Amino acid sequence: MDHHTEKFVPKNPVVRWVEDRLPIINFVKPSFVDYPTPKNLNYWWTFGGILTFMLASQIVTGIILAMHYTPNAGLAFDSVELIKRDVVGGRTIQAIHATGASMFFVALYIHIFRGLFYGSYKAPREILWILGVIIYILTVGTAFFGYVLPWGQMSFWAAVVITNIFGAVPIIGDPILELLRGGFGVDNPTLNRFFALHYLLPFIIAAVVALHIWALHVPGNNNPVGVDVKDTKRDTVPFHPFYTMKDLYGLVVFLIPFAWFAFFAPDIFGHPDNYIQADALKTPADIVPEWYLRPFYAILRAIDFNFIIDSKLLGVIVFAAALLILFVVPWLDTSKVRSGSFRPWFKWFYWLFVINFVMLTWYGSVKPDLTLGEMFGFGPSGPPVKDISKLSVVYYFAYFILVLPLLGRFEKPRPLPNSISESVLKTPVMQAAE
Amino acid sequence: MRTPLAMIRITALVAALFVAVGLAAPAFAQDEVTIAKQGWSFAGPFGTYDKNQLQRGFQVFKEVCSNCHSARLLAFRNLAEEGGPEFTEAQVKALAATYTIADPDAAGGKRPGIPADRWPGPDQSKADLEASFGVVPPDMSVLAKARSREDKFPFWILNYFTAYAEGGPDYIHALLEGYTEAPADAKNPDGTPFKLPDGKYYNTVFPGHVISMPPPLSDGQVQYAPGPDGKTVPLTVDQYARDVSAYLMWMAEPHLDSSHSAGFEVIAFLLLFAGLMYFVKQRVWRNVEH
């Protein structure tokens, strides 16, 4: 964004000496202090900052855990328990890390769905969006590797099921499978490489986050009305103190449920079977991934039929497509209007998409034969999950492939405000438009 | 424009819905067994262990459970630590000394236990126990966290707001009370008449109802000494089951008391901090229409 920032000359001679040689203050100031930010951002926009905090929190707690953890199939389970029992503060650090993964995904999903509603992926923010999708996929991978490390029953069998997915790829499937597992089955080599990757990926995520923020700072923030900044003076405020304070407030509020779970119910997001040490000879009654992966697990399981190709490979293709389709969303949505607030039809399809995604999450947590009636506690009645989840998969893809391209052509958006500053004025004209 | 508080409320609701739905504890058909929630002293954010109950529970564990079940993560010293049964150091030292610990460095490969030792486990080998019962009795260190119970939709959503974490003790308590004769009209999942295999027992709570563990408790089996406060409790299976479930929860989550009090302080601080940040934010933004 086109903005000018005054060169900062430190008064302190030592700081000035450093600044002359390494102008770190003048690097940070335009991007994080003076950075002009639309004045109308709502609280959905605080999740970017919250996610940055969560990544830092996971890295810090994770490094401390790694100092005490033993990546060995015979010792891993007990070493996690010993962290909780005998390491000073270990119970708290482990709980913050484990529940932190779930809270990370809560914030991540809100951030993604905020982008989908306000059209934050549209020109000129396509690369910003794509970097975000890369961060999401890397985070999914990191969380999965992390879940395997305590080496409980769910850790082990999740590793078996998820690595098996890659085995469905023709020709190169088996070599990939062996490479991932470090052998023919999930065992100590698998645990070792997952530990190495779980330690590595967060730093790659941090690097992509840096690119994500860089790509954000070129066009500047989108905003709830989706109208470009026309006049920096009237439409924006400096990032500091306006958004530093607002984001900090949002973060502190977010930390309240986080602390609630970490201190009072650290296992509420997990599966009790993960407190049973991994046993390659005992398959658990039900194998379910963590909640944040269940929408995609439901998509994978919904493909239980052969269509031209075998159901296993087809499932993997559809599963991969469900993630990869996010990359092309900027080009699928043909509407010129960014913000969903001004799109009367889009709103309905969008909220249906949100509900559908929540339902997919639910389908991913229950047995495929469970009927709709049983899901809601009325006894066996209605279609089984394996059938109704297919409808949800269809809508998931239809939203991207049909709704977004067609709506842009047929929908008549409501009139947009002329500028951000006009949109926030409490005049009768604007209230009518709201 | 919506007010900030309304937005936060919506955010919180959507987040709660999102998380809760994902966690919809899989409603696996267990023949409609309902395991009732019990009132535990350690339930909820303000809960703490009842020291006397943990001491009684330890007695049940020591005299009954530990004959077959190991507890490899328990150290004798834990029994004297704060937030646990809180036996005195001298009691723990004396207790540890009554056990023989395998130690290659000791003369004869064995020596009496000291508080730093881990719980030695049953005298019988795993193979012998498996020969007797058909299964190796599971280690009890984290057993209370490896078991749980489920609520039907929409009641499990409430569990996130009450910080429900007592599914394990609820299950263990119900299991210990769940031994009955197999109902005459019991059926297998495939509809054929049910027949209890030899050497197995019928339990209403255990998945599949066929359990290898004989009913471990009977009324009057464990003789409790009166507590330090002079109070006595009934010597019933229900009381034993309650006490040992609480004890197993402590063994699985030994720092619960300190976690709860730390959590209370952290959340009180965050609420105050959030309130202050709200006013800071309001003041910073007071002259900006947004």
Confidence of residue B9 (pLDDT cuts 50, 70, 90): low
Beta-carbon separation of B288 and A82 below 8 A? no
* pLDDT of A260 above 70: yes
- Top-confidence residue, A434 or A364: A364
From the list B207, B206, B233, the residue with the least C-alpha distance to B220 is B233
Chain segment B44-76, per-residue pLDDT in tens: 999 999 999 999 999 999 999 999 999 999 999
The answer to whether residue B270 is domain-embedded is: no
Beta-carbon separation of B24 and A285 below 8 A? no
Residues of B with Cβ-Cβ distance to A242 under 8 angstroms? 284-285, 288
Residues of A with Cβ-Cβ distance to B255 under 8 angstroms? 84-85, 91
CATH class held by domain A41-433: mainly alpha
* pLDDT number for residue B154: 85
Beta-carbon separation of B165 and A269 below 8 A? no
* pLDDT number for residue A372: 83
The answer to whether residue B288 is domain-embedded is: no
* pLDDT of B15 above 80: no
Measure in Å the smallest separation between the Cα of A106 and chain B Cα atoms: 6
Report the run of H or E that residue A236 belongs to, with start and end.
Answer: strand A236-238
The answer to whether residue B230 is domain-embedded is: yes
Measure in Å the smallest separation between the Cα of A104 and chain B Cα atoms: 11
Chain segment A112-130, per-residue pLDDT in tens: 999 999 999 999 999 999 9
Chain segment B19-33, per-residue pLDDT in tens: 555 444 443 444 557
The answer to whether residue B265 is domain-embedded is: no
Say what percent of chain A tops pLDDT 70: 97
Residues of A with Cβ-Cβ distance to B189 under 8 angstroms? none
* Residue range A198-209: mean pLDDT, rounded: 98
Q: Is the CB of A57 inside 8 Å of chain B's CB atoms? A: no
Residues of B with Cβ-Cβ distance to A39 under 8 angstroms? 288-290
Q: Which residue has the tokens 């969303």?
A: A329
Largest CA distance in chain A: 78
Q: Is the CB of B212 inside 8 Å of chain A's CB atoms? A: no
Mean pLDDT, chain A, rounded, equals 94
Q: Who contacts B176 (Cβ-Cβ below 8 Å, separation ≥6)?
A: B216, B217, B237, B240, B241, B244, B245
> A26-30, A51-55, B32-36, B242-246: which range is least confident on average?
B32-36
Domain regions of chain A by residue span: 41-433
C-alpha to C-alpha distance for B141 and A77, rounded to whole angstroms:
12
pTM, to two decimals: 0.92
Measure in Å the smallest separation between the Cα of A170 and chain B Cα atoms: 32
Q: Is the CB of A89 inside 8 Å of chain B's CB atoms? A: no
The answer to whether residue B29 is domain-embedded is: yes
Kindly list the distances between the CA atom of residue A37 and the CA atoms of A214, A393, B169, B237, in Å, as whole numbers in the listed order: 14, 38, 52, 66
Residues of A with Cβ-Cβ distance to B286 under 8 angstroms? none
Beta-carbon separation of B259 and A40 below 8 A? no
* Residue range B241-254: mean pLDDT, rounded: 98
Confidence of residue B12 (pLDDT cuts 50, 70, 90): low
From the list A139, A434, A177, the residue with the least C-alpha distance to A292 is A139
From the list A139, A149, A73, the residue with the least C-alpha distance to A106 is A139
Q: Where are the alpha helices (DSSP H) in A218-293?
A: 232-235, 244-264
Measure in Å the smallest separation between the Cα of B232 and chain A Cα atoms: 31
Which of B:42-71 have CB within 8 Å of A? 44-45
Measure in Å the smallest separation between the Cα of B152 and chain A Cα atoms: 6
How many domains are contained in chain B? 1
Beta-carbon separation of B27 and A374 below 8 A? yes
Q: What's B171's domain CATH number?
A: 1.10.760.10
Residues of B with Cβ-Cβ distance to A91 under 8 angstroms? 255, 258-259
From the list A352, A292, A41, the residue with the least C-alpha distance to B7 is A41
Measure in Å the smallest separation between the Cα of B88 and chain A Cα atoms: 20
Measure in Å the smallest separation between the Cα of A242 and chain B Cα atoms: 6
Three-state SS for chain B is CCCHHHHHHHHHHHHHHHHHHHCCCCCCCCCCCCCCCCCCCCCCCCCCCCHHHHHHHHHHHHHCHHHCCCCCCCEHHHHHCCCCCCCCHHHHHHHHHCCEEECCCCHHHEEECCCCCECCCCCCCHHHHHHHHCCCCCCCCCHHHHCCCCCCCCHHHHHHHHCCCCHHHHHHHHHHHCECCCCCCCECCCCCECCCCCCCEEECCCCCCEECCCCCCCCCCCCCCCCCCCCCCCCCHHHHHHHHHHHHHHHHCCCHHHHHHHHHHHHHHHHHHHHHHHHHHHHHCCCCCC
* pLDDT number for residue B2: 45
> A214-223, B23-32, B85-94: which range is least confident on average?
B23-32
* pLDDT number for residue B13: 53
Residue B15 has its nearest CB partner, among A82, A106, A364, at A106
Q: Which residue of A has its CA nearest to B71?
A: A78
Confidence of residue B8 (pLDDT cuts 50, 70, 90): low
What range defines the domain where residue B22 resides? 4-74+119-254
Beta-carbon separation of A268 and B164 below 8 A? yes
Beta-carbon separation of A242 and B277 below 8 A? no
User: Which of B10, B11, B70, B265 to mutate: most A Cβ within 10 Å?
Assistant: B11
* pLDDT of A411 above 50: yes
Measure in Å the smallest separation between the Cα of B220 and chain A Cα atoms: 32
Beta-carbon separation of A263 and B15 below 8 A? no
Residues of A with Cβ-Cβ distance to B16 under 8 angstroms? 257
- Top-confidence residue, B154 or A108: A108
Say what percent of chain B tops pLDDT 70: 89
- Alpha carbons within 13 A on the beta-carbon side of A191: 19
Chain segment A342-352, per-residue pLDDT in tens: 999 999 999 99
Collapsing DSSP to helix, strand or coil, A152 comes out as: strand
The answer to whether residue B105 is domain-embedded is: no
Residue A78 has its nearest CB partner, among B73, B207, B264, at B73
* pLDDT number for residue A300: 94
* Residue range A396-422: mean pLDDT, rounded: 95
Residues of B with Cβ-Cβ distance to A92 under 8 angstroms? 259, 262
Kindly list the distances between the CA atom of residue A311 and the CA atoms of A86, A396, B130, in Å, as whole numbers in the listed order: 48, 19, 41
The answer to whether residue B89 is domain-embedded is: no
- Top-confidence residue, A375 or A223: A223
Report the run of H or E that residue A237 belongs to, with start and end.
Answer: strand A236-238
> A304-313, B51-60, B119-128: which range is least confident on average?
A304-313
Measure in Å the smallest separation between the Cα of A1 and chain B Cα atoms: 21
Residues of A with Cβ-Cβ distance to B27 under 8 angstroms? 366, 370, 374-375, 377
The answer to whether residue B93 is domain-embedded is: no
Q: Which residue has the tokens 């690119």?
A: A211
ipTM: 0.92
- Top-confidence residue, A429 or B65: B65
* Residue range B146-155: mean pLDDT, rounded: 89
- In sequence order, the β-bridge partners of residue B101 are B111
* pLDDT of A57 above 90: yes
User: Which of A111, A236, A249 to mutate: most B Cβ within 10 Å?
Assistant: A249
